[in-house]
Amino acid sequence: MATALGLIQIVSWGSSYYLPAVLAKPIAVDTGWSLPWVVGGLSLGLLAGGVVSPRVGRTVEYRGGRKVLSWSSVLFALGFVFLSLSANIPSYLAAWLIIGLAMGCGLYDATFATLGRIYGQAARPIITIVTLFGGFASTVCWPLTAFLDAELGWRATCLVYAGLHLVVCLPLNLYILPRWNPAPPANRNPEDSATASVPSAEGSSGRRRTAQFVLLTAIFTLSSGLVIVISVHLISILQARGMGLAAAVALGTLVGPSQVASRLTELLFGRYYHPLWTLTASLTLVAGSLIMMMNQDQISAVTIVMYGSGVGLSAITRGTLPLRLFGPLGYASLMGRLAMPPLLSQALFPSLASFLMVNDNTDGILAIGTIIAVTNIILTVFLWLTIRKPRPL
């Protein structure tokens, strides 16, 4: 199951989140639409995904994830067909709305919720394997998208991705996921069972869990917004430090392998420590790399590897840490609630950062990014304080 879901994540991430990086410029050149509007399609899609994510979580909780993930494949295919046929900006943005709904139903959060619903606490290594595959999304799909665009054009490229979702992803979702709604897994921690609803729990334990929920939401929201901004502007940041485009692109490609390497490390050793250590390592690596970027005349490969490793671990914690803190009961609904603010931040942060990039102010982006990263570390300290004593799995 993990391998099949991982392959689906490669196609899903590569054809949506990473698509504008390659196709935005060809679309703008071919249609005459302004580049900000073309790139804005992804932001609109992320907004749509954030809005529906709580409903998606509740649906997975009560009906299982098979229909939700399968519908994501159908919506992806429909969205890309409409995208290939778009004749103006409104129809283009409407297509991205459909793709955004598919993202809300089929990317990491919905997949993690499905796995937690089926496997309970045992889902941690499976979640890690899925993110391990997902780390190859840009590595696989950027060259594929560029090749298809060069050979067929951007509209036909969208149709190819629509076909992949229907022919590959939809059958896999229908085949590998259980038809029935799995019974809620037995919770290994009795205290978790008593307060499975988390934010609505009462008493001292309930207050502690509410604090954990709020802190997690804040950390994930800030982290998601920061990562997308740095990822979008990384090449510009490297060029501002004196690199040519080819050298900047070559150095930037280290992010993907670094993500995969850090996730592989988590897969091998994660069972020996609490996932909050993974979050702490992730945030520390990202903050350290941004501080180094600010203070290096020419950004080094070590800095990029640190950044990529931190980003790689952050995706894992989105699924494993809530499962460890709150348990399997109510996990899918909780994931839907946790997913909404980060998706909204991913939609809004790049637009806010664009004001700094008007004058190529990459130093301003790094300075604000560093402040956000350090703030997240402080929030993580408070999160540690809410845990009496982390128990081994």
Q: What is the mean pLDDT of residues 136-148?
A: 84
228/320 Cα distance (integer angstroms): 21
165-179, 224-238, 260-274: the lowest-pLDDT one: 224-238
Can you give the pLDDT at residue 339? 83
Residue 357: per-residue pLDDT? 61
Per-residue tokens: 3: 């391998």
Do domains 2-176 and 190-385 share one topology? The answer is yes
The confidence score (pLDDT) of residue 190 equals 38
Whether residue 137 has pLDDT greater than 80:
yes
319 neighbors 108 (Cβ within 8 angstroms): yes
Domain made up of 190-385: CATH architecture: Up-down Bundle (1.20)
List, for residues 379-392, the tens digit of each pLDDT value: 999 999 988 654 54
The tokens 């639409």 sit on which residue?
A: 33
Sorted by sequence, the CB contacts under 8 Å of residue 44 that are 6+ apart come out as: 93, 96, 97, 100, 347
Per residue in 71-124, pLDDT tens?
999 999 999 999 999 999 999 999 999 999 999 999 888 898 888 888 887 888
305-343 confidence digits (pLDDT tens): 999 999 989 888 888 899 888 888 888 888 888 888 888
Pick the CATH number of 2-176 from 1.10.8.80, 3.40.50.1100, 1.20.1250.20, 3.90.1300.10: 1.20.1250.20
Residue 37, pLDDT > 60, answer yes
Nearest CA among 220, 217, 233 for reference residue 350: 233
Domain locations along the chain: 2-176, 190-385
Quote the mean pLDDT of the chain: 84
